[in-house]
Amino acid sequence: MSRIAGSSRDVALLGFRRQWVPILSTLAASLLALYPFVATWAIVPDLAFLVLLAWRLLRPEMWQAHMALPLGLFNDLVAGLPVGQSMALWTLTFLILDIVDSRVGWRDYWLDWLFAAAAILFYTAGGWYVARQMGTVTPFAVLLPQLGLSIFAYPLVARLVVALDRWRLSR
């Protein structure tokens, strides 16, 4: 495709790509939960949340906060979480990040990572609390390896999302 859209069809295609790449990549990350591997211990980071978070921190203006509701519902259904868990926690994360955005005047790589770490901690603790209400009373320490792994996996996921973003906006 040339750098200038030649027809209205090209424009529509580019618009579609711009709008749907973030959504589809998040849904695809949710679908990774179907990977046919049986884990006896919660150790693998929740990649869907990491991808969502990376998009949100990279492009704060792209999604309104309510965008997390349908994405969360999809994640709940695919990953077998109680319906409403990701919906509530993801949307809350978005709302909190909106407040943070309006307070913090500047951002850099480390600050983004710090916010991501805080969001991951919030999300993990939320999931732990919901599981506790459902009868799975686990010491929080069991989740610490997963928490650490998620925090260190975030920059990698963010790299991937940046690459996707570059492709999404390229001509």
Partner 1 sequence: MPPPSTRRAGFSRRAQMGLFLSYVIAVGGTLFAGLLLVIAIVDPTGFNALKGVALDVTSPVSSAGRSVVRFFEGMSGSVGNYVQAGSQNAELKKRLQDARRGLIKAQATELENKRLKALLKLTGETDDPVAVTRIVGSSFASVRRLATLSAGASSGVRPGQPVRSADGLVGRVIESGRWASRVLLVADSASNVPVRLVRDGTPAIATGHGDGTIDLKTLEVGRNPFRRGDVLVTSGVGGVYPPDIPVAVVVTVEGDRTVAKPLADPSSVEYAMVLPVYQPLADVPLTETTESALRGAGQ
Q: Residues in the site for partner 1, rule: CB under 8 A?
A: 31, 33-47, 49, 60-61, 64-66, 68-69, 72, 77-85, 87-88, 91-92, 94-95, 98, 101-102, 104-108, 127-128, 130-131, 133-139, 142-143, 146
Q: Which is nearer to partner 1, 72 or 164 (CB)?
A: 72
CA separation, residue 167 to residues 18, 56, 125, 144, 147 (Å): 9, 17, 34, 35, 30
Q: Which is nearer to partner 1, 15 or 82 (CB)?
A: 82
Q: Which is nearer to partner 1, 2 or 40 (CB)?
A: 40
CA separation, residue 28 to residues 25, 35, 103 (Å): 5, 11, 32
CA separation, residue 97 to residues 12, 42, 53, 115, 144 (Å): 31, 26, 10, 8, 23
Q: Please, what is the minimum distance in Å from the beta carbon of residue 150 to partner 1?
A: 8
Measured CA to CA, the distance from residue 137 to residue 140 in angstroms comes to 9
CB 98 within 8 A of CB 65: yes
Q: Please, what is the minimum distance in Å from the beta carbon of residue 120 to partner 1?
A: 11
Q: Please, what is the minimum distance in Å from the beta carbon of residue 10 to partner 1?
A: 26
Q: Please, what is the minimum distance in Å from the beta carbon of residue 97 to partner 1?
A: 10
Q: Which is nearer to partner 1, 12 or 62 (CB)?
A: 62
